[in-house]
């Protein structure tokens, strides 16, 4: 995110076992580093999960993080993605205030960002947007003036481009 000194992305493949999330998070926490976002989900192999972790750390420390993560017995692979061409995506659900007067205006903004309306009432509209973190940030900024009632963001997921594995 824009207010971070440096946001480093580390992609981690882990065995889907109890406690793994705590081990990974604990390893980062004990080094005094903030986890900016962390997303976990299954991969093509149900016994393996992928964690995409964005940490607020200096570039020269990122590889050290990846090395420490590889030492965890349940970690199968840990890659520091900073210099690798990759696709990043985030998903956000944003619930904004609407009035008959602002409804069309908001939908126009949503169109530009290819966001979709997933729920609508006479007072609120819930929008779904996906994209890079910066795009989501920009969308959120534009919606601020209508009054954001609630927001949920998934955190970033990332894959390396092309045939190389992440």
Using CB under 8 A as the criterion, which residues of the chain lie in contact with other proteins when the complex forms?
A: 14-15, 18-19, 22-23, 26-27, 30, 64, 67-68, 70-76
Pairing assessment for the beta strands 148-153 and 116-120 based on DSSP bridges = unpaired
Rounded to a whole number of angstroms, the minimum distance from the CB of residue 37 to other proteins is 22
Residue with smaller CB distance to other proteins, 69 or 136: 69
Residue with smaller CB distance to other proteins, 27 or 151: 27
Q: Cα(97)–Cα(107) distance, rounded to whole angstroms?
A: 12
Residue with smaller CB distance to other proteins, 68 or 102: 68
Query: For residue 52, which phi and psi values (nearest 5 degrees)?
Result: -110, 120
Rounded to a whole number of angstroms, the minimum distance from the CB of residue 71 to other proteins is 6
Rounded to a whole number of angstroms, the minimum distance from the CB of residue 102 to other proteins is 48
Residue with smaller CB distance to other proteins, 26 or 41: 26
């Amino acid at each position: 995110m824009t207010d971070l000194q440096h946001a480093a992305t580390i992609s981690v493949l882990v065995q889907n076992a109890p406690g793994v999330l705590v081990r990974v998070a604990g390893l980062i926490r004990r080094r005094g580093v903030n986890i900016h976002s962390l997303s976990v989900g299954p991969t093509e192999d149900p016994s393996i999960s992928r964690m995409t972790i964005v940490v607020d750390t200096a570039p020269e420390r990122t590889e050290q993080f990846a090395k420490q993560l590889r030492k965890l017995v349940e970690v199968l692979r840990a890659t520091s993605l900073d210099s690798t061409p990759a696709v990043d995506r985030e998903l956000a659900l944003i619930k904004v205030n609407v009035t008959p007067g602002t409804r069309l205006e908001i939908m126009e903004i949503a169109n530009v960002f290819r966001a979709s309306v997933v729920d609508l009432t006479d007072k609120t509209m819930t929008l779904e947007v996906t994209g890079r973190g910066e795009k989501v940030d920009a969308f959120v900024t534009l919606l601020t003036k209508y009054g954001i009632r609630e927001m949920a963001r998934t955190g970033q997921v990332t894959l390396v481009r092309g045939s190389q594995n992440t």
